[in-house]
Amino acid sequence: MDLLSQISLGLDVALQPVNLLYCFVGVAVGTVIGVIPGVGTLAAMSMLFPLSFLLEPVTGLIMLAGIWYGTTYGGSTTSILLNIPGTPANAVTALDGYPMARQGRGGIALFMTTVASFFGATFGILLVMLFSPAIAAYALEFGPTEYFALMVLGLVAASSISGGSVAKGLAMVTLGIMLGCVGIDLNAGTPRFTFGQPELMDGVSLIALAMAIFGVSEVIMTVRRVKATDIDPETVRLKAMLPSRDDLRRSWFPMLRGSSVGSFFGTLPGTGPAIAAFVAYAIERRLAREPDRFGDGAIEGIMAPETANNAADQTAFIPTLALGIPGSATMALLLGALMIHGIVPGPTLMQDRPELVWGLIMSFWVGNLMLLVLNIPFIGLWVRLLTVPYRLLYPVVLMFICIGVYSFANSAFDVWQLVVLGLMGYAMRVFAFPAAPMLLGFVLGPMMEEHFRRAMILSRGDLMTFVERPISGTIIAVTLVILLASGWSVLRRRRRARAA
Amino acid sequence: MFPTILGTILVVLGLAVAIPAAFRAGGPMDLRRWSPTFVLLGIAAFALVVRPFGLIPATIAVVGLSQLAEREVKPGRMLLLTGFAALLAWGIFGLALGLPMRMLNWPF
């Protein structure tokens, strides 16, 4: 199928009324969640996750994806008006966005970041449309050995690049894969790690795990800490939002550069929109003729990161859709939703289910257009949401989490898992163990094991096969380089800290 | 074989985290007592109640108990929010989505 017919197939799917409706639900929920600090993207996605099983797979995916890129739109609002980033990806936006708001240019900042977000997303979607099919076609040649190596690379990169302790990140990936082993061994039929509990035969519940380590632990950490804030409604009037010609002129190049930077970092495992936004900001600052303006309300300083994070949101779908290898916990959750519907992600997905892949991709256009419309006139409304105190919010969030986990299989045991895993999630927060690598490992683990076993059968149990086959050998070499480089940077950081 | 390999990797990584930490001064631990207790108790109460009594009592259990995690507890406000949450749960999951689960039940 050529690109044009795929696009029209995708549009057919994305424009069906039910998909339009759930796309709207996704982006609206995403915007709200992005605006409210203390409820993260992943918590929001896992809350609506069970709802996606009542829907057709493509409809559910469209909704979940909408939440993901919707939060990045909404998150900039709080960065600008309150100096509190709604999501980590919007943190840099606060550097220049908040000063703009204090100078009375908050409305312009909000308007322009929405435009920037749309621009970045458009750029990212175009890349997804162009590159995913080519990469998937190439990956069709891969055997189990190459696949296993690729997954190892993805997991190692995702857990060691993102910052923090490398050993802790890798340990969480490994623990996640082990949690994925719980249940009936698909090849031998023996129960593993079930401790005689028949309920554990089906394995650990993905929804309980995701909600526990992202939702419950987040609530525990945030209770008693955030306070509601007052905002002057004057700054968000529609009239105060129109940018000057100078603002527009200054924004073009930052948007273009932000899109490229964001698209690049979006595709890499472990980097994602937060790092993309940070790098885009740093580049603008270095290129600026008057770098002193930065940090003091420079419009370039909000345009570049806001384009970059939205471009990264979209290009993160390239490895996820083309290879079935998620680069972040959010993408892992999306693939998890697919797998629960019995759809195996991987390079064949684009051939076997073009309506699903292209329907999802085309829904990005729809969703981003909706966000553009949602954001500009309704900014005042979103801002009012900020005045809802957290003490009213979190019990309701917990209720949604509980009902979500329970409703998936009508199983009280899954809710008990939520209690145990929630305690674990809280302990992970306290001891600074990252949660995202764990979810990645959990989702990829069973697929990895499958590929590992097949590779072992093909090579008659010779582990050297991973190094000897050229493609997989190269991938393993790259993995080792990443490991050594990140290990080295940790050592260097420590030595510098000791010297200081 | 696969879990054994994983276990071995995990032991090595565990040592890599633990051994350097023993030679380093650490800050005080930010461990909270009551927030995790009440949040998790609330979820546990939901798990206990939802099968025998139905969704609405379970909602009341989780929303009611988890509010005790807040610093100051005002009974009136608590009741109001709990009631609102129960209505919300019934409205969304019972009326709008029509999930196949019992809303209210008396098992005795």
Check: CB of residue A336 under 8 Å from CB of residue A146: no
Q: How far is A402 from chain B (nearest CA, A)?
A: 7
Give the pLDDT of residue A234: 56
Q: Do residues B66 and B18 touch, judged by C-beta distance below 8 A?
A: no
User: Is the pLDDT confidence value at A228 over 80?
Assistant: no
Per-run averaged pLDDT (10 residues), chain B, 108 residues: 88 89 78 87 94 92 91 86 91 78 80
**Residue A467 reports pLDDT greater than 70:** yes
Structure confidence by residue, pLDDT tens digits, A134-174? 888 888 888 889 889 988 988 888 777 666 788 888 999 99
How many whole angstroms separate alpha carbon A427 and alpha carbon A433?
8
Optimal mutation site among B13, B55, B82, interface A, most CBs of chain A within 10 A: B13
**Pair A347, A333: CB distance under 8 Å:** no
Q: Is B2 on the interface with A (CB under 8 A)?
A: yes
- In order, the DSSP letters of A36-66 are STTS-HHHHHHHHHHHHHHS-HHHHHHHHHH
Across residues A346-354, what is the average pLDDT? 85
Question: Up-side HSE of residue A180: CA atoms within 13 Å toward CB?
Answer: 25
CA–CA distance, A308 with A207 (Å, rounded to integer): 30
Contacts of B39 in chain A (CB under 8 A): 216, 219-220, 223, 398, 422
More confident residue, A186 or B16: B16
Q: How much is the average pLDDT of A326-331?
A: 83
Top-ranked range on mean pLDDT: pick from A48-57, A76-85, A240-249, A420-429:
A420-429
Nearest C-alpha neighbor of A418 from the set B41, B108, B75, B70: B41
Q: Is the pLDDT of residue A231 over 60?
A: no
Separation CA B59–CA A362 (nearest Å): 38
Q: Answer yes or no: are the C-beta atoms of A319 and A325 closer than 8 Å.
A: yes
What's the CA gap between A77 and A191, in Å, rounded?
A: 49
pLDDT at A235: 56
Helices (H) and strands (E) counted in chain A, each on its own, are 22, 2
Rounded Cα distance between A267 and A320, Å, is 9
Mean pLDDT computed over every residue of chain A: 84
CA–CA separation, A304 and A116 (whole Å): 8
DSSP string, A463-492: TTHHHHSHHHHHHHHHHHHHHHHHHHHHHH
Q: How far apart are CA A252 and CA A262, in angstroms?
A: 15
Between CA A215 and CA A209 the distance in angstroms is 9
Rg (CA), chain B: 22
Q: Is B66 on the interface with A (CB under 8 A)?
A: yes
Q: Which ranges of A288-411 would DSSP assign to H, the alpha helix?
A: 300-315, 317-323, 329-340, 349-352, 354-385, 390-409
- The DSSP element (H or E) to which A191 belongs, if any, is strand A191-192
d(CA A216, CA A423) in angstroms, rounded, equals 9
| Residue whose token pair is 């996606």 | A52
* CB atoms B2 and A452 under 8 Å: yes
**So what's the pLDDT on residue B87?**
92
* B99 vs A contacts (CB less than 8 Å): 407
Separation of alpha carbons A194 and A182, rounded Å: 6
Alpha-carbon distance of A120 to A422, in angstroms, equals 36
pLDDT digits (tens, 9 = 90+) for A51-107: 788 888 899 999 999 998 888 888 888 788 777 776 778 888 888 888 888 787 878
Q: Residue A38 — very low, low, confident or very high, per pLDDT cuts 50/70/90?
A: low
- Give residue A223's pLDDT band: very low, low, confident or very high (50, 70, 90): confident
Burial class (CB in 10 A: 0-12, 13-18, 19+), A164: middle
Task: Locate A279 and state its tokens.
Answer: 């790098």
A57 neighbors A357 (Cβ within 8 angstroms): no
Is the CB of A399 inside 8 Å of chain B's CB atoms? yes
pLDDT category at A338 given cuts 50, 70, 90 is confident
| pLDDT tens readout for residues A286-320 | 888 887 888 888 888 899 999 999 999 899 989 88
Nearest CA in chain B to A413: B47
Q: Do B63 and A174 touch (CB under 8 A)?
A: no
Is-above-0.90 flag for pTM? no
Report which of A235, A218, A240, A228 is spatially closest to residue A87, judged by C-alpha positions: A218
Query: Any chain B CB within 8 A of the CB of A188?
Result: no
Give the whole-number percent of chain A exceeding pLDDT 90. Answer: 18
DSSP character at residue B95: I
A178 Cβ under 8 Å from any chain B Cβ: yes
Per-residue confidence (pLDDT) for residue A424, from 0 to 100? 95
The residues pairing with A184 across neighbouring beta strands, listed in sequence order, are: A191
pLDDT tens-digit map of A351-386: 888 888 899 989 998 998 998 888 777 777 766 766
In this complex, is the C-beta atom of A422 within 8 Å of any C-beta atom belonging to chain B?
A: yes
pLDDT for residue A417 is more than 90: yes
What is the C-alpha separation between A89 and A30, in angstroms, rounded? 14
Between A and B, how many residue pairs show a Cβ–Cβ distance under 8 A?
127
| Single-letter amino acid, residue A463 | L
What pLDDT does residue A1 have?
Answer: 57
